[in-house]
Chain A
Amino acid sequence: MSTISSYLTAEHREADVLFSYAEQAIADGDWMQAETWFQRFTAATLNHFEKEETVVFPAFEQATGNSSGPTRMMRIEHEEIRGMFDRVSNAIVIHDVEGSLGLAETLLIVIQQHNIKEEQVLYPMTDRLFGGQHDGMVLQMRQLQSAG
Chain B
Amino acid sequence: MNGAHTSLALEQAPPISVPFRFFLAAPVFLLAAGGLMLANGPELLASRWHPATLALVHLLTLGFLATSMAGALMQMLPVVAGAPIAFPRTVAGLVHLPLMAGTLWLARGLDRADAHDIRLAMAALTLACGVLLLACGHSLLHSPVRHATVRAMRLALLALTATAGIGIALAAVRVGMLNLALLPWTSLHAQWGLIGWVGVLVMGVSWQVIPMFQLTPAYPAAVTRWFGGVIYAALTLDSATPWLASAPAAWITTGTHGVLVTCLASYALVTLRLQAARRRKLPDVSLQFWRIGMASLLAAALLWLAGQVTSIGDDPRYPIALGMLYLAGFAISVVNGMLYKIVPFLVWFHLQSHPARRNTAPGMKLVIADSDSRRQLRLHTIALLLLFASLGWPVLAHVAGFTFVLSAGWLWWNLLQATRMYIRLAAGSPG
Determine the interface band of chain A, counting residues with CB < 8 A from chain B. 20 to 34
9 closest Cβ pairs, A-B complex:
A102-B363, A102-B365, A103-B363, A112-B212, A20-B279, A106-B363, A102-B364, A102-B366, A16-B215
Cα-based distance from A8 to B73 in the complex (angstroms): 30
User: Considering only CB atoms and an 8 Å cut-off, how many residues of chain B contact the other chain?
Assistant: 31
B contact residues around A98 at 8 Å (CB): 365-366, 369
B348 CB within 8 Å of chain A: yes
Q: Chain A interface secondary structure, helix, strand, loop or mixed?
A: helix
A76 CB within 8 Å of chain B: yes
Cα-based distance from A121 to B5 in the complex (angstroms): 21
Which of A54-62, A79-87, A127-135, A136-144 is found at the contact surface with chain B? A79-87
Cα-based distance from A66 to B113 in the complex (angstroms): 62
Interface string of B207-245 (1 = CB under 8 A from A): 010011101000000000000000000000000000000
* 7 residue pairs A–B, Cβ–Cβ below 8 Å: A20-B281, A79-B1, A99-B366, A102-B365, A102-B367, A105-B363, A120-B147
Closest to B348 in A: A106
Binding site for B on A (CB under 8 A): 16-17, 19-20, 23-24, 27, 73, 76, 79-80, 83, 87, 91, 98-106, 108-109, 112-113, 116, 120-121
B88 CB within 8 Å of chain A: no
Is B282 within 8 A of A23, CB to CB?
yes
A contact residues around B1 at 8 Å (CB): 79
Contact of B363 among A19, A99, A113 (CB under 8 A): A99
Closest to A120 in B: B147
B345 CB within 8 Å of chain A: yes
Contact of B359 among A83, A99, A106 (CB under 8 A): A83
* Chain A proximity of B421: nearest CB distance (Å): 12
B contact residues around A113 at 8 Å (CB): 79, 212
* Chain A proximity of B213: nearest CB distance (Å): 7
B9 CB within 8 Å of chain A: yes
Is A23 within 8 A of B212, CB to CB?
no
B contact residues around A103 at 8 Å (CB): 363
